[in-house]
Structure 1
Amino acid sequence: MELPTPRPVPDQGIKDKHRKLWALGDYGAVAREVIPSLGPILVNEAGIGPGDYVLDVAAGTGNAAIPAVATGASAVALDLTPELIELGKLNAPQGGEELQWVVGDAEDIPFESGTFDAVISCVGVMFAPNHGQAAAELARVTREGGTVALLNWTPEGFIGEMFKIMREYQMPAPPASPGPPMWGHEDYVASLMDGLLEGLVSRREVLTVKRFAEPDHFREFFKLNYGPAVGVYRGLGQDEERSAALDRELSGLAERYARSTEDGMEMDWEYLLLRGSALGS
């Protein structure tokens, strides 16, 4: 496939829009009930252990930061959306000072260069609008030789397809630019990290999702809880015809991926695991 070129995205209130978008619904329910295993997978891939100082970028409710601390590391969970930070604090184990929660921007990380032994992001930094700037910040705050490890949905997988569908229903239509799932394309991320990381390795894996009984169950759960989906439906307002069409497409997507089980269905959602070492400044 021909790779799109990342380019700066004008602010024009986009940060406020992102904060509000991810505060919609209940992302904590998605992290807790649908993708809880992804954080530990990323922590293991990054080789995080006792004594490491870790930054989880676009941390959401701490899906990767909390398991990082469980290894004996100290961590900072950084996210643009205060509501997610507050939810994460409620869900985190009590009584420890090993985990710090910070409201901050993946494109302007509020730490000095070379601060962290490992910088990670679990389906988080992929949603920063300025891909090149976010990539540069991930590498900047990692010490020379330290690890940057990412877990992102692929453009060809279930979530990539879901975003492609939702994009067609966004009001107003978004500007043409590389979408978040491009962070799940090996060559695209390699181009972002060129000159920033060395020894880049990646592999594609799947998360088997067993949370939903049938396709409409998936659709209603995401329609209620997943900020980007909530935002698209709200943008459609009273357009019942387009809302119903989006309902059909999302249920149809789940039906295409579904395998029947004794409890209902399961789906494989593809993601990319990627790891490299920071070159330093």
Structure 2
Amino acid sequence: MNDQDAYWSADHYQAVASRLSGISLRLVQEADVRPDHHVLDVACATGNAAFHAARRSAEVTGIDYDPVMIEAANRRRDRLRMSVAFRRGDAARMPFPDGSFDRVLSAYGSMFAPEGEAAALEMLRVCRPTGMIVMANWNPDSVITSMFQTLHDLHPVAESIQGIARLWGTAPGLRHLFGPTARIRTLLTHYRVPGTADELASVFADHFGPALCVVDKLGEAAREEIRERLTLLFRKHETIGPEARGVDVGYLHTWISPR
């Protein structure tokens, strides 16, 4: 397993994913998933968007390149007693016929596909002409993009995602990826992650794959430095709501019609 694989195969990934699950729920709501829909969750990880879609009685498939993620998603499915088909596969070479799905979803997953343009074309291919691709991607100004940069500054084993965010998290980048015939609508928005800046920093320092890779390279002492740097970063985006604190996480919400 190389470092890139280790990012997303970390045992604690779901601790992070659960904090961001509300983005996947909003994604499914904005996609207007219905009971008669065939839905694909691309780069599904442990299945947040897939499970939210399945709760609407849609027929749902999740695909991810990482077998550890697929195993974790299957365990969640069995525990929740839900009907979702998870399978391992490459977003750039998906094993589905043309026009298989009414909704193709991706919650900050497909943007990490190594072959970005090929993945975008595959999403277009498997989406029905009358269907829709709906994504939530980190944009260049997102605090999550800044978090990746913070980790990268400590050690390059944690990649910077500025280039990825410019492609998948901006309207011009999406036009480049999906081509001139696709109809693209975007909205810069944010999600309020529950918890204080200190709490969220600890979650990422202790459970986020790239942070764990930095600790592996620099030693255990690096964990506290990561925690301190992320706390300072998240405090700049911390808000106080009617009942509790949260951290505002920006992202680009995108709707794409194949034609």
Contact kept, 8 Å, 2:54 with 2:82, in 1: the verdict is: no
Aligned to 1:149: 134
Aligned to 2:246: 266
Q: Does 1:206 align with 2:186?
A: no
State which drifts further: 249-258 or 263-272. Answer: 263-272
Aligned to 1:160: 145
CA-to-aligned-CA distance 1:22-52 (integer Å, 9 cap, x gap)? 01141112222x1121122111222210111
2:16 to 24, 30, 41: 30
Determine helix, strand or coil for the equivalent of 1:64.
helix
Contact kept, 8 Å, 2:46 with 2:69, in 1: the verdict is: yes
Aligned to 1:44: 29
Contact kept, 8 Å, 1:19 with 1:81, in 2: the verdict is: yes
User: Cα distance 1:70–1:264, how it changes in 2: closer, same or farther (>3 A)?
Assistant: closer
Q: Does 1:276 align with 2:238?
A: no
* Pairwise CA RMSD: 2.6
Q: CA deviation at 1:101?
A: 0.6
Q: CA deviation at 1:169?
A: 2.4
Paired positions, count: 258
Contact kept, 8 Å, 2:7 with 2:208, in 1: the verdict is: no
Q: Residue type of the partner of 2:203?
A: F
Q: CA deviation at 1:103?
A: 1.1
Determine helix, strand or coil for the equivalent of 1:178.
helix
Aligned to 2:207: 225
Determine helix, strand or coil for the equivalent of 2:145.
helix
CA distance in 2, matches of 1:78, 1:173: 24
User: Cα distance 1:17–1:113, how it changes in 2: closer, same or farther (>3 A)?
Assistant: farther
CA-to-aligned-CA distance 1:42-73 (integer Å, 9 cap, x gap)? 11222210111111001111111111111121
Q: CA deviation at 1:186?
A: 2.2
CA distance in 2, matches of 1:236, 1:210: 30
- Structure 2: runs of 5+ lacking an equivalent: none
Contact kept, 8 Å, 1:120 with 1:148, in 2: the verdict is: yes
Q: List 4+ stretches of structure 1 deviating above 6 A.
A: 261-264
Determine helix, strand or coil for the equivalent of 1:229.
helix
CA distance in 1, matches of 2:160, 2:239: 35
Q: Does 1:21 align with 2:3?
A: no
1:249 to 229, 253, 258: 229
Write 1 or 2 for the structure with the bigger share of helix. Answer: 2
Determine helix, strand or coil for the equivalent of 1:112.
coil
State which drifts further: 137-146 or 18-27. Answer: 18-27
Q: Does 1:128 align with 2:128?
A: no
Alignment of 1:189-204 (within 5 A): 189-195=174-180, 197-198=182-183, 200-204=184-188
CA distance in 1, matches of 2:238, 2:95: 42
Q: CA deviation at 1:246?
A: 3.9
User: Cα distance 1:174–1:227, how it changes in 2: closer, same or farther (>3 A)?
Assistant: closer
Q: CA deviation at 1:177?
A: 7.8
User: Cα distance 1:221–1:194, how it changes in 2: closer, same or farther (>3 A)?
Assistant: same
CA distance in 2, matches of 1:58, 1:224: 23
Q: Residue type of the partner of 1:218?
A: L
**Structure 2-normalised TM-score?**
0.88
